[in-house]
Every structure is written in structure tokens, then in C-alpha cells.
């Protein structure tokens, strides 16, 4: 882990505030392991999110609910070891912060102490303000997350766009203000109308990072495995694929199987 003082170029929560003030869009991606975090960090990403989407893309669960705090800490410490510049934010998993601010603080402290990450993220608005305020008392930066909050999938019943109706949009506007007032350093808005997301981004002074929330926000986040095209089944409208690693990896593995079967591999030059 690089030290806060020994690495002048490290992105901090303050850097993100400056980027918003200067109108420089913030680029954020998820990562869950050392090797990919190293690549993503080296390519110039500003924020790496160790998302609880690890539950889906790393562990194959249908939802984000099953992943545990120990598992998030395992992923986060690997990412921190691979990362020199980006700010590393870690999701507090389901059941480790809701309805119990002391438990929330303990969960956040474990993440910071055992992984070396720089901030935590949690889902929800007014219902988790107590947890956010308590975590902040320990000097731990908190990123909020509103709109489609996947840990509440069984309440929503579906992954469709949130806050299309005025009542839900108004609640989201109010929650965004509450999160800013409570002291969150940034806010993720997931899968809401672009107009509403832009309005929220303009109404708060903290950076607003969107996923499926249009271009009027202060930055964008995507799940790494989705944007690299590893996962072909997930095709939401908001997703742009920057590679087709599904094909690259499949071709590489089938080529290896072919060469092993034909005894082409290893060649004379590839042995001792």
C-alpha cells in the first residue's frame, strides 16, 4: 500500500471535488483483483470501486446480497495492492450497515483497516443517514448511492429505470441533499432519467457519478467485466462495450486446447 504522504499523485476525495469545480469528468470503474486493478490503475482511471457486483461477476450469484464483509475485504486488499494512483472505494455489503449505525461503523473500520482502501460506499438515502453520520465520525469518507440500489432488488422487484414518477424523483432529490449535508464526498446515481440526474448534479456541490444516468453528471462508472465484454448476457442500453474479451479469451483457450491435443505445445523451444 502506498502512503497518503508518500504518493503525491494519488487521487483523493479532494481531487474529485476539484475536478467537479473545474468541469473535468471523473472516470470510475470497478475492479476486484490485483491484476486487473493494476491494469485499470495504470491506464489512468480516477476511482476504482470494489463493488459488491463482485457477488455477480466474481462469484456468480444472481444478486449482490450474498457477498460477505470478509469477501469484500479480500477483494479490496487485492485491489489496493495493485493500485498506485486511483482512489479505492469499497462497497459495504448488504446487512453490514442498515439499521445499526454502530455495526455500520465497525464494518467500515474493518474495511479501512484490513484492506487499506480509502473510502466506503453504501446504498440508500434518509434511511441510512444515521449509519453515514456515524461512519464519518471516524474520519472515513463515504460515497452515497441512490436510484437503482441493487441491494434493494427484492423491494423493487425489477431492475428497470427508477424515479420516473414524480414522487420517487422528489424523494431522490431530497435524499441527494441529505447525503451532501451529512458529509458524503460523492454520490452514485444508478439508472435514473438523464434529466433528473443532471438536475441533481447541478444542485449539489459534491461530485455525482452516473451509471445509466446520462451525460449531465460529473463522472461515469461501469462494471469492468461488462465494459470489457467478458459478460455477453448483460445488455442494458447504458452499457458501452470497449472490448470483446469473451471472444479473445474463448479463442485463446480453444487454441491452447487444440495445441495440447495435437502436441504442438510445448515445442522444442518451450522446454528445458
Q: Which residues are catalytic?
A: 190
Torsion angles phi and psi, residue 219, rounded to 5: -175, 175
Out of 29, 172, 188, 217, the only residue in the binding site for ligand KIV (CB under 6 A) is 188
User: Which whole-number Å values give the CA distances from 109 to 77, 98, 164, 175, 228, in the listed order?
Assistant: 14, 15, 36, 24, 32
By CB under 6 A, tell whether 51 contacts ligand KIV.
yes
- Tell the smallest beta-carbon distance from residue 51 to ligand KIV (Å): 2
- Residue from 221, 227, 228, 230 touching ligand KIV (CB under 6 A): that is 221
65 versus 136: smaller Cβ distance to ligand KIV = 65
Site string for ligand KIV, 63-102 (x = CB under 6 A): ----------------------------x-----------
In the complex, what is the shortest distance from the CB of residue 83 to ligand KIV, in angstroms, rounded to a whole number?
A: 16
Least distance between ligand KIV and beta carbon 184 (Å): 14
What are residue 146's phi and psi, to 5 degrees? -125, 170
Nearer to ligand KIV, 51 or 141 (CB): 51
**Binding segment (CB under 6 A) for ligand KIV, from list 14-22, 50-58, 94-102, 193-201:** 50-58
Composition of the chain by helix, strand, coil, percent to 5: 45, 15, 40
Per CB under 6 A, 226 contacts ligand KIV: no
Q: Does 186 bind ligand KIV (CB under 6 A)?
A: no
Q: How many CB atoms lie within 10 A of CB 193?
A: 17
DSSP 124: B
State the cell numbers at 259: 495445441
Residue 141 Cα distances to 3, 30, 34, 38, 132, angstroms: 17, 18, 23, 23, 9
> Nearest-CB residue to ligand KIV?
51
Looking up cell 500500500 gives: 1
Nearer CB in complex with ligand KIV: 117/256: 117
Of the candidate residues 53, 98, 151, 220, the single one contacting ligand KIV (CB under 6 A): 53
Residue 223 lies near ligand KIV (rule: CB under 6 A): yes
| Surface-to-core class of residue 35, CB atoms within 10 Å of its CB (0-12 exposed, 13-18 middle, 19+ buried) | exposed
Rounded CA Rg of the chain: 20
CB atoms within 10 A of CB 130: 17
Question: Which residues are at the interface with ligand KIV (CB under 6 A)?
Answer: 30, 49, 51-53, 91, 188, 190, 211, 221, 223
Amino acid at each position: 500500500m502506498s502512503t497518503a504522504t508518500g504518493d503525491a499523485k494519488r487521487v483523493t476525495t479532494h481531487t474529485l471535488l476539484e475536478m467537479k469545480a473545474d468541469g473535468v469528468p471523473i472516470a470510475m470503474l470497478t475492479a476486484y483483483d490485483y491484476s486487473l486493478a493494476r491494469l485499470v490503475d495504470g491506464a489512468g482511471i480516477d476511482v476504482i470501486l470494489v463493488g459488491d457486483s463482485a457477488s455477480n461477476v466474481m462469484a456468480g450469484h444472481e444478486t449482490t446480497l450474498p457477498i460477505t464483509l470478509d469477501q469484500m475485504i479480500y477483494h479490496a486488499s487485492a485491489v489496493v495492492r495493485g493500485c498506485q494512483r486511483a482512489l479505492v472505494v469499497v462497497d459495504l455489503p448488504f446487512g453490514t450497515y442498515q439499521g445499526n449505525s454502530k455495526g455500520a461503523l465497525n464494518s467500515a473500520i474493518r474495511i479501512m483497516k484490513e484492506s487499506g482502501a480509502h473510502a466506503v460506499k453504501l446504498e440508500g438515502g434518509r434511511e441510512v443517514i444515521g449509519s453515514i453520520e456515524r461512519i464519518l465520525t471516524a474520519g472515513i469518507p463515504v460515497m452515497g448511492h441512490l436510484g437503482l440500489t441493487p441491494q434493494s432488488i427484492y423491494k423493487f422487484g425489477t431492475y428497470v429505470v427508477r424515479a420516473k414518477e414524480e414522487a420517487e424523483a422528489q424523494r431522490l432529490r431530497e435524499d441527494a441533499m441529505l447525503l451532501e449535508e451529512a458529509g458524503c464526498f460523492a454520490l452514485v446515481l444508478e439508472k435514473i432519467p438523464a434529466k433528473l440526474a443532471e438536475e441533481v448534479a447541478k444542485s449539489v456541490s459534491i461530485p455525482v457519478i452516473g451509471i445509466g444516468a446520462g451525460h449531465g453528471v460529473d463522472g461515469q462508472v461501469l462494471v469492468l467485466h461488462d465494459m470489457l465484454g467478458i459478460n455477453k448476457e448483460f445488455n442494458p442500453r447504458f452499457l458501452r462495450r470497449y472490448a470483446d474479451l469473451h471472444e479473445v479469451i474463448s479463442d485463446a483457450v480453444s487454441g491452447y486446447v487444440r495445441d495440447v491435443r495435437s502436441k504442438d505445445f510445448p515445442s522444442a523451444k518451450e522446454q528445458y
